[in-house]
Amino acid sequence: MEFRQELETGLLKQIGNTETTLKIKDVASKCRLLKTDNGLKVELSYTGPNASKYLQYVEKHREELTNYLLHPDDADLYEWMETSHQTTITLKKHEKEKLILFVNFDPDTNIVQTGIADENVTMKLGAPLMNINISEMSRNEFKLAIYDMLLLADEIAIAMGNSELRKMANIEMVKTYLSEIYDKFNNNILAQ
């Protein structure tokens, strides 16, 4: 907890957010879309604790919530954008950049992390696309995680308008490389 002393009163005022921040998925689960004469309207049907925070979130993110409720399959994209502090406007700024998908594997922890990087393999845009422990997954769960990650990368590339990143999100090499990691290092695989 952080405090700042106010000049006028000398009182200590708490700064920073002490509560967990709301996520679009949590807020959307308490909302519904209503058809009105003017189009679609997001209605919050929540009256529990912190209802005012939910209402503020709805007011501030009405467009994202509408899109999220209309297209629930895009949930991963909206959650990634929220975690990465990106908007459709900030993503468009990366349209002409040469971006790649990178894979980082730590053999000591069996953690596979993927993300969007520049040519110097410096992670861009904040949050990773995937961060999983492969020793806790079956081969099928891992394949599904790769598929979901590539879908998310493709959705991000489309939102950016970045055709180079879009090509990378569809390449077979990424899937092959990640599968090799799974086969080589996962201790849970039974010998064939």
Given 3-state DSSP classes, what are the helix, strand and coil percentages for the chain, each rounded to the nearest 5? 45, 20, 35
From the first residue on, what is the mean pLDDT of each consecutive set of 10 residues in the chain (192 residues)? 59 53 82 83 83 87 83 79 82 85 83 83 77 85 84 87 81 69 60 36
pLDDT at 3: 54
Q: How many CB atoms lie within 10 A of CB 169?
A: 22
pLDDT at 138: 84
CA distance 130 to 145: 8
Q: Hey, where are the domains in the chain?
A: 2-70, 91-185
- Which H or E run contains 152? helix 139-160
pLDDT at 19: 46
pLDDT at 17: 45
Instruction: Report yes or no: 44 and 59 within 8 Å, Cβ to Cβ.
Output: no
Residues paired with 31 in a beta bridge: 44
pLDDT at 14: 55
- Closest residue by Cα to residue 136 from 175, 186, 179, 190: 186
Can you give the pTM of this predicted structure? 0.64
CA distance 165 to 156: 9
pLDDT at 4: 60
Instruction: Report yes or no: 103 and 171 within 8 Å, Cβ to Cβ.
Output: no
